Amino acid sequence: MTDGTALAGPDGALRCPWALSTPDYVTYHDGEWGRPVHGDDALFERLSLEAFQSGLSWITILRRRPGFRTAFAEFKIAKVAAFTDEDRDRLLADEGIIRNRAKIDATLANARTLTDWTPGDLDDLIWSHAPEPGPAPKTIADVPAVTPESTALSKALKKRGLKFVGPTTAYALMQACGLVNDHLETCAARIRP
């Protein structure tokens, strides 16, 4: 049983405890999670994947990410916005992704909504909700699931017409895209620039 502090991985480096359950998590934790992500298409991908993760474990999404990228045209907003009813049917039958009708429909609707935005608006909106850096969490118990900033981001995204973007999904996006740094205080990924 862990006390929620950073644990030594197979290489001896301290990491957030959640990152040690599979090699896929170690790679994601060390190289992606908490690193700044910019660009509308890149943020659309992360937002979409976080929505698909809702109610599931992240490892399920992470292992299917190549399938998601193929199925959703590398998450290029303009391409996904042009998907037809036949594309929707294809997605619903694609075993390489999560075949949840509501989440697929939300992803397609979000892409269509985003085509009406000025390029850079999604990046600007998301990053405008980045909080001031706070103290590093010492244990996983110090890492919230929702914050006032994620609630505000969720409201702003919904107000602009996006779907499946609740406060918990918004906070997971903030963590994944580096708006917040929730690597534990002694985690090697936090310490490394």
Q: Which residues are annotated as a binding site?
A: 16, 29, 183, 187
Q: How many CA atoms does the CB half-sphere of 83 hold within 13 Å?
A: 27
Task: State the binding site for Zn(2+).
Answer: 16, 29, 183, 187
Q: What angle do CA 103, 128, 157 make, to 5 degrees?
A: 25
The catalytically annotated residue of 25, 50, 149, 171 is 50
173-176 long-range contacts (CB < 8 A, ≥24 apart) are 173/43, 173/46, 173/47, 173/50, 173/126, 174/129, 174/130, 174/147, 174/149, 174/150, 175/33, 175/34, 176/32, 176/33, 176/34, 176/37, 176/46, 176/50
The catalytically annotated residue of 18, 32, 58, 185 is 58
Residue pair 103/68 in contact (Cβ under 8 Å)? The answer is no
Active-site annotation holds for 58: yes
Q: How far apart are the C-alpha atoms of 176 and 193, rounded to whole Å?
A: 16
Catalytic sites, residue numbers:
28, 50, 58
